[in-house]
Structure 1
Amino acid sequence: SSSRPTAAGSAIGISSSVPRRGVFNDWKLDLFYTEIPHEFTSNYRLLWNGEGSDDLNLGGLTPGGTVNAATTQANIQQTLTQTEESDLGLVRKQGGFNVEKYLTNEWRVFGGYNLEKREGERPFGAVFGGGGGGGNVEIPESIDYETQNFLAGLRFDDGLNNLNLQAEASLFRNRTGTMTFENPLFITTNTIIGVPPTTFTSGRYDLYPDNDYYNLLGEYGRNFPDFYKARLTAVASLAWMKQDDDLIAPTTFSLAGGNINGVSTENVWNTTRANSKQSADAEINTQLFSLGLVMSPTDKLDVEGKIRYYETENKTEFFACNPLTGQWGRLLNDGSGGSFVVPNPTPGNNPSGTLQTAYNQAGCNVAAVQALGLVPSAGNVKIRNTPYDYKQMNYVLSGDYDLGRASSLNLTLEREEFDRAYRERDSTWENSFELGYTNRGFSFGTIRVSAEYAERRGDDYSVEADPNSTSAIFGPAPVANGTNVASWIHAPSGLRKIRPCGSGSNHPERPPERDRHRVDGRRPRSSVPEQ
Structure 2
Amino acid sequence: MLALNENRTTPTVLALSLLLGLFGTRDALAGDTSDTMRVGDMQFGNALDPRGWTPMLQPADPDGMSYLHAGMLRTPTGSLYPYPPMIDAARPVGQGDWTYDGVLDFGYLHVGGDRNAEYFRQYADWRSGAVLGLFALDFQNHKTGAYAEFRGSRLSSDDQYYRVRGGVYGSYRIEGFYREIPHTVSTNAYPIWNGVGSTSLTLPASLVPGASTPAQVAAVSAATPEHNIGLTRRREGLSYEGVLYHDWIASAAITNEKRTGTRLWGGSMFFNYPFPDNGGILETVRPIDFRTTDVNFSVRNVGKVWHFLATYNGSFFRDHKDHLDFQSPFALTNVAGTPQVANIYNGRFSLEPDNDYHNLRLDLSRELKWNGQLTVAGAWATMRQNDGLLPPTSCTGTGGVFIAPTADYTFQCANWNTTSALSQRSANARIDTGLFDARATFHPSPTFGWHAGVRWYREDNKTRYLAYNPLTGQYGFISENGSQGSVVPGETGFFDPANPLFNSSNVLVRNVPFSYTDSILELGTDWQLGHKTSLGVTYTFDHNQPKYRERNRVDDQRIKVDWVSRDVIGATVRMSWEFAKRDGGKYNYDPYVQFFAQSLPGFVAPSIGLAAYTVADMRKYDLSNRTENKARLIVTHPWGDSATISATFYGNRDHYDALIGRQNTSTTGATVQWDWQPTPATTMNLYLGVEGSHMGISNVNDADSADNGRIFGSLGQSNPNLGGPFYPYANQWWEDDSESNRNAGLSFSHDFGRARFDLSYNYTDSLGHVGYSYATIGALAYRDAASVAAANRGFPDDRYRTNTLDLGLSFRVTSAVGVRLYGRYETGAFSDWHYLGLDNTLVYDHRLYTDKGGQLHYNASLVGVMLNLKL
TM-score by length of structure 2 reads 0.51
Closer, same or farther: CA 107–203 of 1 in aligned 2, 3 Å: same
The yes-or-no answer on 1:255 pairing with 2:403 is no
Trace 1:314-333 onto structure 2 (pairs within 5 A): 314-333=461-480
| Distance in 1 of aligned mates of 2:208 and 2:619 | 42
Query: What is the aligned partner in structure 1 of residue 382 from structure 2?
Result: 240
Encode CA deviations 1:82-112: one digit per residue, 9 max, x unaligned.
1111101111101110011212441112111
Mapped partners of 1:472, 1:131: distance in 2: 29
Structure 2 distance, partners of 1:517, 1:46, is 48
The whole-number CA distance in structure 2 between the counterparts of 1:153 and 1:499 is: 39
Q: Report if aligned partners of 1:195, 1:255 keep a CA contact under 8 Å in 2.
A: no
Question: Contact conserved, 1:100 with 1:111, CA < 8 A, in 2?
Answer: yes
Q: For the residues of structure 2 that align with 1:30 and 1:519, how far apart are their CA atoms?
A: 43
Give 1:454 shift.
3.5
CA–CA distance in structure 1, aligned partners of residues 516 and 399 of structure 2: 47
Looking at structure 2, the residues matched to 18 and 204 of structure 1 have their Cα atoms a distance apart, in angstroms, of 42
Preserved contact between residue 453 and residue 518 of structure 1 (Cα < 8 Å): yes
| Residue 3, structure 1, aligned to residue 146, structure 2 | yes
Q: Report the secondary structure of 1:233's partner residue.
A: strand
**What secondary structure is seen at the aligned counterpart in 1 of 2:493?**
strand
Instruction: Give the residue type in structure 2 aligned to 1:4.
Output: Y
Superposition pairs of residues 264-303 of structure 1, within 5 angstroms: 264-265=411-412, 267-303=414-450
How big is the shift at 1:10?
6.1
Instruction: Report the alpha carbon displacement of residue 391 of structure 1 after superposing the two structures with TM.
Output: 0.4
Deviations 1:320-363 (A, max 9, x none): 332211122321222222223457xxxxxxxxxx951795xxxx
Give the equivalent residue in structure 2 for 1:231: 373
Shift, 1:490, TM fit: 2.3
Q: Distance in 1 between matches of 2:569 and 2:301?
A: 44
Render the CA deviation track for 1:450-507: whole Å, top value 9, x for unaligned.
Answer: 5544432311111113221223334788584xx3x4x4322343x2234899xxxxxx
Give the drift of 1:135. 1.2
Residues 1:390 and 1:189: Cα distance change in structure 2 (over 3 Å)? farther
Match for residue 358 of structure 2 among 206, 214, 219: 214
**Displacement after TM superposition at 1:306 (Å):** 1.0
1:406 has 2:532 as partner:
yes
Q: Is the 8 A contact 2:341 2:399 kept in 1?
A: no
Which of residues 356, 363, 367 in structure 1 aligns to 2:500?
356
Task: Choose the corresponding residue for 1:304, options 417, 426, 451.
Answer: 451
Amino acid at match of 1:152: F
Aligned mates of 1:264, 1:59 — CA distance in 2: 29
Q: In 1, are the aligned partners of 2:440 and 2:452 still within 8 Å (CA)?
A: yes
Instruction: State the SS of the aligned residue for 2:268.
Output: strand
Partner residue, 2:720: none
Give the aligned partner of residue 162 of structure 1.
Answer: 307
Secondary structure of the 2:310 match is strand
Partner of 1:77: 218
Residue 431 (1) aligns with residue 576 (2): no
Q: Residue 399 of structure 2 contacts residue 483 of structure 2 at CA under 8 Å; is this kept in 1? A: no
Query: CA, structure 1 residues 500+152, in 2 after alignment: closer, same or farther (shift >3 Å)?
Result: closer
For structure 1, list consecutive stretches of 5 or more residues without a partner in the other structure.
Answer: 344-353, 360-376, 502-510
- Residues of 1 paired with 2:391 and 2:603: CA distance? 32
Note the C-alpha offset of 1:201: 3.7
Task: Output the amino acid matched with 2:164.
Answer: P
Against the structure 1 CA distance between its residues 19 and 186, is the aligned structure 2 distance closer, same or farther, given a 3 Å change threshold?
A: same
1:497 paired to 2:619: yes
- TM-superposition CA deviations, 1:435-460 (whole Å, max 9, x none): 34322212452334455444323111
Match of 1:56 among 176, 181, 201: 201
Q: Structure 1 counterpart of 2:242, which letter?
A: K
Q: CA deviation at 1:307?
A: 0.7
- 1:32 to 1:528, Cα distance in 2 relative to 1, 3 A: closer
**CA-to-aligned-CA distance 1:197-249 (integer Å, 9 cap, x gap):** 5x32432222111111111111112123xx11211111111111111111111
Letter in 1 for 2:437: S
Match of 2:322 among 155, 167, 177: 177
Shift in CA distance, 195/276, structure 1 to aligned 2, threshold 3 Å: farther
Identity %: 27
Return the letter of the residue paired with 1:242.
Answer: R
CA–CA distance in structure 2, aligned partners of residues 117 and 281 of structure 1: 25
Deviation at 1:129, TM superposition (A): 3.8
Report the Cα distance in structure 2 between the residues aligned to 1:334 and 1:417, rounded to whole angstroms. 42
Structure 2: which amino acid aligns with 1:428? V
Contact map agreement 1:420 1:426 (CA 8 A) in 2: yes
Identify if the C-alpha distance between structure 1 residues 115 and 355 changes in structure 2 by more than 3 Å, giving closer, same or farther.
closer
Match in the other structure for 1:128: 269
Whether the aligned pair in 1 keeps the contact of 2:460 and 2:516 (CA below 8 Å) is yes
Aligned counterparts of 1:113 and 1:516: Cα–Cα separation in 2: 42
Cα distance, 1:521 vs structure 2: 5.4
Q: Corresponding residue for 1:458?
A: 584
Q: How far off its partner does 1:190 sit?
A: 8.1
CA separation of 1:357 and 1:252: change in aligned 2, threshold 3 A: same
Q: Aligned pair in 2 of structure 1 residues 143, 85: CA closer, same or farther (>3 Å)?
A: same
Q: 2:239 matched to 1:98?
A: yes
Counterpart contact for 1:190–1:336, Cα < 8 Å: no
CA 1:255/1:189 → structure 2, altered by over 3 Å: closer, same or farther?
Answer: farther
Amino acid at match of 2:349: Y
CA deviation vs aligned residue, 1:143-180 (integer Å, no higher than 9, x gap): 11111222222111136432111212211111111222
1:383 and 1:452, CA in 2 relative to 1: closer, same or farther beyond 3 A? same
2:220 partner SS: helix
Instruction: Decide whether aligned partners of structure 1 residues 519 and 32 sit closer, same or farther in structure 2, where only a CA change above 3 A counts.
Output: closer
> In 2, distance between residues paired with 1:27 and 1:74?
68
Residues of 2 paired with 1:209 and 1:358: CA distance?
32
Aligned-pair CA distance for 1:128? 1.2
> For residue 413 of structure 1, what is the amino acid of its counterpart?
Y
Change (3 A) 1:19 1:257: closer
Letter in 1 for 2:612: I
What is the CA–CA distance in structure 2 between the aligned matches of 1:92 and 1:324, rounded to whole Å? 43
More deviation, 249-258/277-286: 249-258
Q: Which runs of 5+ in 2 are unaligned?
A: 1-143, 403-407, 485-491, 636-645, 648-671, 676-871
Structure 1 counterpart of 2:494 = 340
Q: Once structures 1 and 2 are overlaid, which stretch shifts more, 245-254 or 279-288? A: 245-254
Answer yes or no: is the 8 Å Cα contact 1:319–1:385 preserved in 2.
yes
Residue 109, structure 1, aligned to residue 231, structure 2: no
